[in-house]
């Protein structure tokens, strides 16, 4: 299956402007044969802590945009949206997958970024999500989730491809690129990480999006400029890596740290 990552700039808190900028890029990805197109975290708003302004209903304009474009182009499209849920006082940073035939799968970011006070504005998700697109088993994560290796580990057996969307700032760009490659190597799976470029909310973003194969080899990468990354993802490559170098069976449950004193 061919996937496309759209490493884009984001017009701050202006969804209609971002929709307009994305339409030709989505068309180009579909024309290139992509069966899954991945957009950055909060692609329609930017990483805003003004949740009262940017949060949308679950079937609001940005989710509708994804659904309509997926149907129009005949491909899957995903990107994260700040979504309200009935009965919850705070919205969730939600990665929405929209399919060409009306399918939809939502993953709520499990780890809000406490360093930026995201946890004070957005609720934390409480479950992992899996979906299968054209035979490729996918597990999604959002930005700060990338730092928590154990949560990738527990999902490895049912994952061919981890999708990670982000607004990861320039000052920690080395962390982003290193962790993407590490998660692929540790779990012998593809990792597709897409990050924004440009400036927003006082931060600079350099992209550094990449697609990494189960051996840790970088199949596609881009930095600083808007670009589209394309690569083929093949579950047979994952299975072969795990058969020829069987690391996963040697994993044990995480041990508790020894008590002091």
Which residues are tagged catalytic? 41, 109, 143
- Cα 164 from Cα 177, distance rounded (Å): 12
- Cα 179 from Cα 148, distance rounded (Å): 10
Q: What Cα–Cα distance (Å) separates residue 45 from each residue in 16, 51, 53, 255?
A: 10, 10, 10, 41
- Cα 196 from Cα 166, distance rounded (Å): 7
- Cα 228 from Cα 209, distance rounded (Å): 9
For tokens 């290139």, the residue is: 32
For tokens 């995201």, the residue is: 118
């Amino acid at each position: 299956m061919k996937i496309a990552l759209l490493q884009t700039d984001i017009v701050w808190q202006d969804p209609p402007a971002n929709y307009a900028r994305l339409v030709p890029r989505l068309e180009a990805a579909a024309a290139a044969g992509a069966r899954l197109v991945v957009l950055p975290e909060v692609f329609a708003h930017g990483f805003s802590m003004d949740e009262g302004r940017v949060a949308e209903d679950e079937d609001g304009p940005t989710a509708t945009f994804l659904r309509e474009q997926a149907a129009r182009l005949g491909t899957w499209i995903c990107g994260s949206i700040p979504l309200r849920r009935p009965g919850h006082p705070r919205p969730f940073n939600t990665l929405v997958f929209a399919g060409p035939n009306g399918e939809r799968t939502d993953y709520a970011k499990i780890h809000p970024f406490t360093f930026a006070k995201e946890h004070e504005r957005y609720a934390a998700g409480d479950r992992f999500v899996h979906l299968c697109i054209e035979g490729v088993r996918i597990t999604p994560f959002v930005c700060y989730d990338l730092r928590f290796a154990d949560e990738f580990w527990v999902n490895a057996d049912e994952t061919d491809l981890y999708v990670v969307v982000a607004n990861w700032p320039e000052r920690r760009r080395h962390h982003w690129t290193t962790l993407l490659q590490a998660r692929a190597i540790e779990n012998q799976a593809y990792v597709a990480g897409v990050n924004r470029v440009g400036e927003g909310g006082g931060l600079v973003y350099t992209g550094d999006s990449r697609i990494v194969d189960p051996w840790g080899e970088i199949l596609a990468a881009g930095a600083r400029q808007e670009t589209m990354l394309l690569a083929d993802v093949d579950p047979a490559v994952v299975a072969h890596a795990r058969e020829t170098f069987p690391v996963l069976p040697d994993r044990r449950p995480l041990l508790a740290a020894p008590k002091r004193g």
